Structure 1
């Protein structure tokens, strides 16, 4: 039953993340004629505080990235539900697969690496809200997945 629920979240998350990413591209396209950098103030303040059109894009991108992060976490959980995680968490885990021995560590490493690269790209693009989402959701998800009891611990 738990596998079915996570499978549904997986599919719905994929569709929602793609739809929201398309909407972020539409917001970017609509605001192409507007200013992306503030015209008044100190240069450092103009760099840190983008124009309202850019802030709208940043918020829209942050929601799209949040949905993609939730999709990635659900993909890790669904992929590891057969033979990796214990029966206390997801019911009967299936047969014990020795190839899944490094799955949990690999998944945690994947989430931390994704957080590092995506937050770095967001910071370079001055998308502060998106960077904050990436630095909060993915590392906390990595800690959550690292806390699972497996047959191999």
Structure 2
């Protein structure tokens, strides 16, 4: 088994706990900063919309790290589940038996990553979490391109 697939396997097994811990930290930060201003009270209304208060920026950065960990967990799950008979990359080692039901796995995984990127980035923009939106629009589409570049038994 390749070292890289071992990394993805370990992150897939424990990454959910790390992502939940990050979400807990973001929630704790919301609770801790509840008495502070979340919107700037001075300046032009457009500037107040684009530049949130420092408490909100701290929350946005924590949320960005949390979604980055969740994205890594999602990509790790796709790679680990696809390594068992669908993908044929050299660094994955011998993938085992060919899965007859996996013909649409790669296309479905790429579509899911792109859809998740757009929905989560849209939710982040609506919540004015600019850093989180940038993370979602860079990590997930690049991961989708990376997974789409894998060789499979079916191509």
Fold conserved between structures, TM > 0.5: yes
Structure 1 residues not aligned, in runs of 5+: none
Partner of 1:142: 144
| Greater helix proportion | 1
Partner of 2:110: 108
1:123-151 deviation line (CA, Å, top 9, x unaligned): 00000000000000000000000000011
Moved more, 53-62 or 90-99: 90-99
Structure 1: how far apart are the matches of 2:88 and 2:45? 55
What is the SS of the residue equivalent to 1:100?
Answer: coil
Note the C-alpha offset of 1:59: 0.3
Partner of 1:80: 82
- Select which of 27, 38, 41 maps to 1:39: 41
**TM-score scaled by structure 1?**
0.96
Partner of 1:69: 71
Structure 2: how far apart are the matches of 1:5 and 1:69? 15
Partner of 2:95: 93
- Select which of 112, 115, 121 maps to 2:123: 121
Following TM superposition, the consecutive aligned residue runs of length 4 or more in structure 1 with deviations greater than 3 angstroms are: 2-5
Partner of 1:14: 16
Structure 2: how far apart are the matches of 1:115 and 1:149? 23
What is the SS of the residue equivalent to 1:99?
Answer: coil
Partner of 1:49: 51
Partner of 1:132: 134
What is the SS of the residue equivalent to 1:84?
Answer: coil
Partner of 1:152: 154
Aligned residues: 153
Note the C-alpha offset of 1:87: 5.2
Contact 2:125 2:133 (C-alpha < 8 Å) held by counterparts:
yes
- Select which of 8, 28, 36 maps to 1:26: 28
1:88-126 deviation line (CA, Å, top 9, x unaligned): 241111111121000000000000000000000000000
Note the C-alpha offset of 1:15: 1.4
